[in-house]
Amino acid sequence: MLEPSLSAEQQKELAQKLTCFLSRYRHLSDSYIIEFFTEDLWHTLPSSWQLVLQDLSYPQIADLLLDATHGDRRYPAVWPLSLLAFCATAHALAFPRESRRDQGRGGASVKPVEFQENQSQSSLLGHIFRKHVKPKKQHEIRKLGMLVKQLCDQTDCDQVVDVGSGQGHLTRFLSFGLGLCVTAVEADRTLVEMASRFDRELLWVLEKDKKKQSSSSQLPVSQSSPRHVAGWVNPKASWEAFIKQLSVASCVSEAPLTPSGPSKKRLRGCEHCVVQTSLSHGSSDSDAGPPQRPTTDQPARQGGAHCEDTSLWDHTGFVLTGLHACGDLSATLLRHFVNCPHVRGITSVACCYMKITTKENPTPPGLVEPPAPLAPVQELVHAEFGYPMSSRVRGLPGHQLSYKAREGACHAVEDYIRRLREDSELLRTHCYRAMLETFIRDIRPDLRRAGIQTIKKSHLLPFTEYARLGLARVGLPPELPLDLQQVEVLLKQQGRVVVYFSLALLLAPVVETLVLLDRMMYLQENGVTSQLVPLFNPNFSPRNFVLVALKPRG
């Protein structure tokens, strides 16, 4: 059984401190940096703060404001106590983003050992799992996969349901690499079909490697290939509807059916969706193992068939996992974990906090819509929002988190610190956008926060060229004459823009802490102990926290 990260009383105390602190500085977390000039954001700061912050160099902003682990704090001036208290409190309240092993020695700033020999290939992940996978994802699937395997071992369970599986990178590692029986659920059928195709490529490589190995080499035990399900997980549906979806939804696996040889680990009752193959896991190309040859009396499985066995999960316990499940999906999986008797454990890695539904913002921008009609009305039993989940946080005054605060919580603090220390040209991007906002509103006062989207390599352009491209994107004349004197005046305030953005960014880990703590408290209120583990290197994966929970035995 997991040891709790915090006791119930510690959770309650921290939640109260977080809501109190964030309420006090809501004007920072809720502000939009593109309105720096139009809303005169600089002068919303206390005058004593303005005085000591306006002349900071970029490395000083990184060391004195954002980096809690930086030891050599040489202040160029005497800072007001209110500013020192703001910085210290923000750092103290946020969950540490480094593992205990790395805390205090700058471990998070060091490239992971697995990429020191090759920046694009993990030395700890078998070559068959690296194809089509970027370094960030390689790092994530290896570490999360091993954690899921530990939970399966602790719960005497070899069944895993991977929700929001995308192209199936984690799914393949869990299945072919760690010997688990995996059902992968993904709403985007195109991604599901890609995952099935990548599965077939992996099987082909295994078969090819088998032919190269000597007959005396030790072959791995055969296991089940992943079962891919195309389906949107309805956040308002019951756990029973979710289980039915796993059992009845359309399967698109196109791999061969059942190779010869016995298998001890196999999904029951869904023979046509199961693919048996040998497994491989290692740190070099030579570690890849061969598949056992498929029998010739079974036709190849074609995509789109319907799995009708609704009893598949009736007596099957499984571990639920979601790697960067977007918006309400993470909250939905936690509710299914609590309510569904078949789920024994969960690893939840969240992302896209701005897409979480709240009472104040039930339909945030970017909310994932169902690709098909909703489930029958009788199955829509949950009306809860994605935040807050716990009754304790829901009852705290000032617990509300705006869309902007939640969007800010998704920013990569470590990446911005690196930009500051390198004096990166990318730092001018926020100033450019804030300047453009002033010119847009001069012409169209009603046009606020217009969606410009990313302008490629904007930091390398002179502002006049950036403005020309940006004006065209909002339907304004691109050749609009600009007041060049005003342009120069605003450009000189780039340092202030960076400082203000850094102050708001300092609150990002605090907001994320409150969201994740609320989920821990929800589990605690339902009798489940949990741990929050900073599993990934935050330089590689900014959303690096994994919420881990096991149900009490019996």
Residue 181 lies in a domain: yes
- 8 A C-beta contact, residue 110 and residue 116: no
Residue 241 lies in a domain: yes
Predicted confidence at residue 205, as pLDDT, reads 87
The per-residue pLDDT for range 382-405, each reduced to its tens digit, is 568 999 999 999 999 999 999 999
Give the pLDDT mean for 513-540: 95
- 8 A C-beta contact, residue 228 and residue 186: yes
Residue 129 lies in a domain: yes
**Residue 380 burial by Cβ neighbours in a 10 Å radius (0-12, 13-18, 19+):** middle
The per-residue pLDDT for range 282-317, each reduced to its tens digit, is 333 333 333 333 333 333 333 344 444 545 566 679
* C-alpha–C-alpha distance, residues 536 and 273, integer Å: 33
Q: How many of the other CB atoms lie within 10 Å of CB of 334?
A: 27
The per-residue pLDDT for range 429-477, each reduced to its tens digit, is 999 999 999 999 999 999 999 888 888 898 889 999 999 999 999 999 9
pLDDT at 502 over 90: yes
Q: Where are the alpha helices (DSSP H) in 47-134?
A: 47-53, 58-61, 81-93
Residue 173 lies in a domain: yes
Smallest CA-to-CA distance from 181 within 114, 82, 303, 279 is with: 279
CATH number of residue 136's parent domain: 3.40.50.150
What is the strand order of the sheet 159-163 is part of? 227-230, 181-186, 159-163, 318-326, 343-351, 545-550, 530-534
> What is the span of the domain harbouring residue 144?
122-210+223-246+315-352
Residue 296 lies in a domain: no
3-state helix, strand, coil in the chain (%, to 5): 45, 10, 45
Q: Global pTM?
A: 0.86
| Cα 132 to Cα 28, 122, 363, distances in angstroms | 40, 13, 34
First to last CA, the chain: 12
* C-alpha–C-alpha distance, residues 411 and 506, integer Å: 10
pLDDT at 5 over 80: no
Query: Looking at the 3D structure of the chain, how many domains does it have?
Result: 1
Predicted confidence at residue 291, as pLDDT, reads 35
- 8 A C-beta contact, residue 184 and residue 229: yes
Residue 160 lies in a domain: yes
Residue 323 lies in a domain: yes
* C-alpha–C-alpha distance, residues 318 and 347, integer Å: 12
- Token digits for 240? 């029973």
| Cα 19 to Cα 10, 462, 501, 506, distances in angstroms | 14, 42, 21, 15
Residue 72 lies in a domain: no
The per-residue pLDDT for range 159-184, each reduced to its tens digit, is 999 999 999 999 999 999 999 999 99
- 8 A C-beta contact, residue 353 and residue 516: no
Average pLDDT, the chain: 83
